Amino acid sequence: MVSFSEENIYDVIIVGGAAAALTAAIYAARRAMKTLVIAKSIGGQATMTDSIENYPGFLRIGGVPLMNKMLKQAMKSGAEVFYEEVNGVEEIQKGNVDKPLFLVKTTAGNKYKSKSVILAYGKTPRTLDVPGEGEFGAKGVSYCATCDMPLYAGKNVAVVGGGNSALEAAEYGSKICKKVYLVHRRDQFRGFESLVEEVKKRKNIEILYNSAVKEIKGDGTVHSVVIQDVVTNKTREIPVNGVFVEIGSVTKTEFVKNLVKLDQLGQIIVTNNGNAYYPGRDDIRPGVFAAGDLTQTPFKQLVVSAGEGCKAALQTYNYLSGQQATFVADWVSKKKKS
């Protein structure tokens, strides 16, 4: 094994703080790579649910405890974790082993050097982009009902969206809030039928179909939301203390579009082992890897993200140590033994 360590230069910087990133960190650190995780926060979309029943090894576990376990394991394995938002990754020069070197920049103005980068920061909640949304972020506007709904016990809230996330948020809110306005831009939901029926049964949920949020108003914290009927164009102001934006998520890859190849949805295209490509080209970009929900992989599942994080870390190790990936199919091994 070659030694990668050089002062102030990481072997791998992993961008992200959820299943793919933390699994990559566990594997990278356990391979004695000098590993830095840079994450805005820990847990990603998994923290938006308190009941995960399909992650192997746990009959049922909350997203927050599961992600905290992964974080603890990554740090115990030797990974450093910095809480910052990455807003730039660029190749700066060849490293000491004739490999590229990367500069990872953060919104805090910090810059970190690394011999390789694993992009694994998942998806980001979609925003409404209406007046007041930014101003009242964390002061009444939330993108995580599981995390924040209890703060509005006994109060009125609006949940925006028409998918399973919005339906679940409304159903959850109806158990603890005084009243929930479910604001959907169309006249049909796109969630599970059983969930739609459950929501329709709740007496303290008022469904506002064909309705769009035009503005979120407040005075320090949110006190109302302006809704427009998209059929009649009539607007009305509804008094609420919380607005839960549950309208899906987006892949924020704008800042890496000059670094890696993206598909039409803005997802990073990777090989089966997590190698990214040069933008607009069909050749692999040395030293750049990606894993999890921000890649083109169709199954956006926690266990898939973890598996992809593992593959990307092992592929990074192979890249830095000059080893080839070994592919040994189980059935070949068994055949040889017999």
Query: Ramachandran region of residue 325, left (φ > 0), alpha (ψ -120 to 50) or beta?
Result: beta
Minimum CB distance to ligand NAP smaller for 19 or for 28: 19
Minimum CB distance to ligand NAP smaller for 184 or for 311: 184
Distance CA 201, CA 281 (A): 53
Cβ–Cβ under 8 Å, residues 278 and 240: no
Residue 137: closest CA among 121, 148, 153:
148
In the bound complex, what is the minimum distance in angstroms from residue 243's beta carbon to ligand NAP? 12
Distance CA 159, CA 170 (A): 6
Binding site for ligand NAP (CB under 6 A): 126, 128, 160-166, 168, 185-186, 190, 246-248
Annotated catalytic residue 310: no
Query: Pick the catalytic residue: 50, 98, 129, 148?
Result: 148
Distance CA 154, CA 175 (A): 9
Give every CB contact of residue 143 below 8 A, 6+ residues apart in sequence: 125, 244, 245, 246
Query: Pick the catalytic residue: 11, 144, 293, 310?
Result: 144
Annotated catalytic residue 177: no
Minimum CB distance to ligand NAP smaller for 113 or for 126: 126
In the bound complex, what is the minimum distance in angstroms from residue 202's beta carbon to ligand NAP? 17
Query: Ramachandran region of residue 115, left (φ > 0), alpha (ψ -120 to 50) or beta?
Result: alpha
Annotated catalytic residue 144: yes
State the residue number with the nearest CB to ligand NAP.
Answer: 163
Cβ–Cβ under 8 Å, residues 83 and 37: no
In the bound complex, what is the minimum distance in angstroms from residue 328's beta carbon to ligand NAP? 35
Query: Pick the catalytic residue: 11, 50, 129, 147?
Result: 147
In the bound complex, what is the minimum distance in angstroms from residue 162's beta carbon to ligand NAP? 3
Minimum CB distance to ligand NAP smaller for 11 or for 246: 246
Minimum CB distance to ligand NAP smaller for 126 or for 252: 126
In the bound complex, what is the minimum distance in angstroms from residue 187's beta carbon to ligand NAP? 10
Residue 48: closest CA among 165, 188, 129:
165
**Catalytic annotation, residues:** 144, 147-148
